Chain A
């Protein structure tokens, strides 16, 4: 059982506790040699589309399910959106191994802090923790193992959703309306930009996210679209006053069915197609 002398105590940091007990959380990745496969640093090849949109109830987070290695599809049902704790979520783009490990350590860190300190970290504190982990990961990112997350959460104290975007160096940028990451982020971001309104309800934010993902998948080979044959749909989650909730595949399928109906009836998947203004 780990017991530390006062002054030598690792405090509320789980990563530090791991180091003190002899298991460096990112040990393997630190020893990767510089890439020779042409995947250089900062080439932006984090094949994925993940996004977050603020809604009047909180925030919606979404991500496609495709994982690629080179030109091959390695997974069709990869998860890239995770609950970070009861009131926040993290979505990842980048090298799958280190990204998933980072999410795992991040989730453990938030719960560990809450238990040791007796109260959860503030949303800003959580966002900063993730930035610090990314800064620690920079040497590996320089070797090509890039990880770029999005962090989004709901602040019960002011009843508002907040979003944070990051860069590989651990730069943390709070966004007001929406955030995107991954190879399809340009297309998804444009759809979100055109479709965002200040009073977006949760269902509207989900519909807008699905449109953004669909357009990203339509233009970017590394982003997966809906797969009705296998029943695999992008992960959609919303965080509001009652916490993190992920939609089931059936629920996500319904949101996609609405988009499909619009496309089939000659629509172009435009982000304002469902808005009240457009139907007038």
Chain B
């Protein structure tokens, strides 16, 4: 027996799901990932100091997510588990961003087509090259689309506008501080200011691996480090000095 009243065309179904996911993602703040002269910077607008958007996956691999926190957090944990299991079963050098990005794509695609609701997230998986290898930047969308990006990559509600602003100021020879400053101004746009406390910053530093320690390239910057990198602190210190000179 047919039930014509309940029929929804597959095109419509997919369209509705995509709209749903996009709306969810558009509500959140954006994240910028960009290569600098000796690594990759991940900079996210994030008012929370404890619920993180940017994290470490493995020695040379980092993860960034925007959208619904609990959903990209689950993806992050699954990524850490995938990487750790692979490194345990084979070798640490066999863990790669490319295979991880494909796993994520599969999972997001599966959620998008088979589950009641798609995941309202967009993620980046980046790997810093050591010993002359190129960096890898992957952007994975809510429906499992993977994009291999070069130099920089933006995700989140305002991603297109942010990407344009990054493109204007981007240069391959930026140092870490300049990259963080560019990312912040791109996230803020012309009308707003974002304070150091409201951005979350982590670096994947291209270090020479040394069998024992210092194999972990990921370094999270605390608020003081971020202020220092942004130059806010230096400006404030200069003001203080000027005040002291006056007195």
Residues of A bordering B, CB below 8 Å: 1-3, 14, 17-18, 21, 23, 83, 86, 108, 111-112, 115-116, 118, 243-244, 246
Please determine whether B88 and A2 come into contact, CB atoms closer than 8 angstroms.
no
Bound Cα distance A155, B222 (Å): 20
Please determine whether A83 and B213 come into contact, CB atoms closer than 8 angstroms.
yes
A residues less than 8 Å from B57 (CB atoms): 115
A24 to chain B, nearest CB (A): 13
Give the residue name and chain of the B residue nearest to A79 (CB).
Answer: B212
Bound Cα distance A21, B81 (Å): 10
Give the residue name and chain of the A residue nearest to B59 (CB).
Answer: A111
Name the prevailing secondary structure of the A interface residues: mixed
A-B pairs with the 7 shortest C-beta distances? A1-B103, A2-B81, A1-B82, A115-B80, A1-B78, A3-B78, A112-B84
A residues less than 8 Å from B82 (CB atoms): 1-2
B154-197 residues with Cβ-Cβ distance < 8 A to A are: none
Query: Which of A1, A2, A116 gathers most chain B CB within 10 Å?
Result: A1
Task: Choose one: A3, A23, A83; the contact of B107 (CB below 8 Å).
Answer: A3
B residues less than 8 Å from A83 (CB atoms): 212-213
Bound Cα distance A17, B84 (Å): 10
Bound Cα distance A108, B88 (Å): 8
Bound Cα distance A71, B50 (Å): 56
Q: How large is the interface on B (under 10, 10 to 19, 20 to 34, 35 or more residues)?
A: 20 to 34
A131 to chain B, nearest CB (A): 22
B79 at the interface (CB under 8 A from A): yes
Query: Which of A3, A14, A108, A246 gathers most chain B CB within 10 Å?
Result: A3
A residues less than 8 Å from B81 (CB atoms): 1-2, 17
Give the residue name and chain of the A residue nearest to B103 (CB).
Answer: A1
Bound Cα distance A2, B79 (Å): 8
Please determine whether B213 and A1 come into contact, CB atoms closer than 8 angstroms.
no
Task: Choose one: A21, A86, A111; the contact of B85 (CB below 8 Å).
Answer: A21
Bound Cα distance A2, B78 (Å): 6
Bound Cα distance A116, B84 (Å): 11
B56 at the interface (CB under 8 A from A): yes
B72 at the interface (CB under 8 A from A): no
B residues less than 8 Å from A17 (CB atoms): 81, 84-85
B130 at the interface (CB under 8 A from A): no
B70-105 residues with Cβ-Cβ distance < 8 A to A are: 74, 77-82, 84-85, 88-89, 103-104
B8 to chain A, nearest CB (A): 28
Give the residue name and chain of the B residue nearest to A115 (CB).
Answer: B80
Give the residue name and chain of the A residue nearest to B50 (CB).
Answer: A118
B52 at the interface (CB under 8 A from A): yes
B200 to chain A, nearest CB (A): 12
B residues less than 8 Å from A23 (CB atoms): 89
B residues less than 8 Å from A243 (CB atoms): 213
A187 to chain B, nearest CB (A): 29
A58 to chain B, nearest CB (A): 15
Bound Cα distance A116, B52 (Å): 12
Besides A17-B85, A18-B88, A118-B52, 4 other A-B contacts (C-beta < 8 A) = A1-B106, A108-B88, A112-B80, A244-B213
